[in-house]
Chain A
């Protein structure tokens, strides 16, 4: 919704210019499900490589489940991250729109894709997500817009995060071509050498038998084969003879591999047991040196296919990540919390760790939302013009068109700021430098000057609260003590003090008065977010945090006393609560 507004404001001039050239056509969004994923991925690869930047947009199963859980004007980067993390941990991504965009002679060329996702547990390991949350109040408007849930659930592409992929390797029973383990066994015991000797003779016999067999008569072959299979565990693997030897420890695997090192026409593969470890070693007999190389190549490509299958949609993320192109998002903190938690790894406990780890994967992220705020002044100077888009408005653009819009807004901003989008990736010191990877808020008010109060009757207005506080004994000696008071939800309000130190006095006064109202410093709020006390009412969450921590009178609880934005634009409209 907000996006729509932004777009309206931003696209006008841009589109008007474009409309002069030709009637602007929206590119059709390629809808991708598991049936056309492979082809789409190949196409996308080309488009990504030739693009100047890539815009992304996500559709999830929910956003925030209580009014105070969303980003509030009082949130610092840390508390904002905790909120984003809370959402990303629970909700699911249903659609992931990717739009590689290139600018050629001031013309935008965009190739929008809309990937449908569903966390299908193909490996039967409870991954990528065992359960996920849905928010009916979020899904209902999506359904009214015509969102196709069936397409996602029936044909959505599954995925594993990088972390999950390595976890799954430990667990699933794929054949793993063994790398000869370099470290040989230090001191072989008697049992070890007996075992090795037994394996050596068994393998020798088998190979001999096979070689004899192949040159003699081929009658009774079927019978012999089945007997062999039964008695010796021999069979065929990709039309080559093979032998399986059961093992009961990693040590035995190592011993077998050592023995096999003495032969040069064997390729050993390890059959992993469910729950880790090895269950058997499968030895494949190749007919020649060339055949051996051929077979090893076969195995490699097989593994590649398998990996592709396991990673699923994450291939797209890896592609974007390795391309190192600028990524444009509208709500980067939220979107990238989702991207990180679904496709990279579990979200780290702090914002700083998240940011540094994210930057390793996505070195160049631009948030059009933040950018917007910064360049708003420029845009007020541009005249508002209606845009004609061949009679189609936002709703009929089809699913996944948000990424296109974000991309176009960004292109517009670039043109306003006289930044050449083509040079974005190459030189990072363009005009946008200060906006890149900016997940933080602009800072204006120190959180030390904020006090949370609750315990009043639900539905009390901020004005009434202000009156109560003005008449209280505390403020009698300082009329202008607090600059503002705002409701955060129906249960809790925040008071901003204008003089440093007065928040502490206020807190002290509140605690000694013992009235019905409770008060706490920003540290308590921060604690509630950090500890995941996501009660429906903020008042309840703060009560819990106070119980945990005791009253924190000093207000200096924070290690790094941050400042937050105190912006009238972000004033909470109680109608939205």
Chain B
């Protein structure tokens, strides 16, 4: 093995070329920021509230033909738009509200759950989107339109013997399905031990040696699934069963020189991961006592394991009872976990470089010409990034 090889002209792989290309574009933009006066800098680093509001409200009325690929995902469009408007502090008028409630009502299946559009099979992701849209609206009418009994039956039917959930009848099983199911159950106060059974074991089997969580066992750690996995474990009070130091390590290092986050190792930065990865770190802020316990034992093992904190199984006696295979929980108790988690104190400050992330989002994701946010620099998406706004 000669290291002389390296002194020969370095041929970049495609991955490398793309990375260099994106870095150059990002650094050009940051250079501009550096070169202007503080006053101009502060103008550059603003969120274009009005433009986004205009874009979103237009979208609520109607979307261009290119959005037809999202036809099986229409509740998502409702959610992204409504949630973004809510974050921007914009009230929704009652006409819009009625339209949304009506529309989602037609997406609701007679046997529970919501599909991608009227007449479509109920699907966990669109269910998540629909329920959260209605909650964002928050009116009596919106909330009472959700059939909770049928929803519970629908969720039970999606449960798989592995402990995980299927996205829809005869659909795929992965960590997204777990999160959407549990999140909906928790917020609708219908979470019970039947739904929770074996779930922790499945998600743990999806945490990889890298520290992050994969979509299914054997796959690579991925930002979206890491969020879904961690959030689910928190909601069922089993977060302590994950290797949290390893998870934090992986996520934190996904924030690169571009200041935004990448979704997986050696992939390009992308605005959407501001949410998936960023929010993992926001959640972890409230798990500090568990993490510290795990670290104490990991410290000793560091001699054995050079590059990462060890995987430790700890007994959690601080956050109440956790009984992974338990069957004695009442429905109410389990649904309360999420609420009390959020009400708890964040004991740590941000674990990401928050300022850098905001800089990336405002300067690289926010695009002037089409007046909305792009998911990655120069690379397009349908443009709505409500989630990027959230954690920062």
A binds B: no
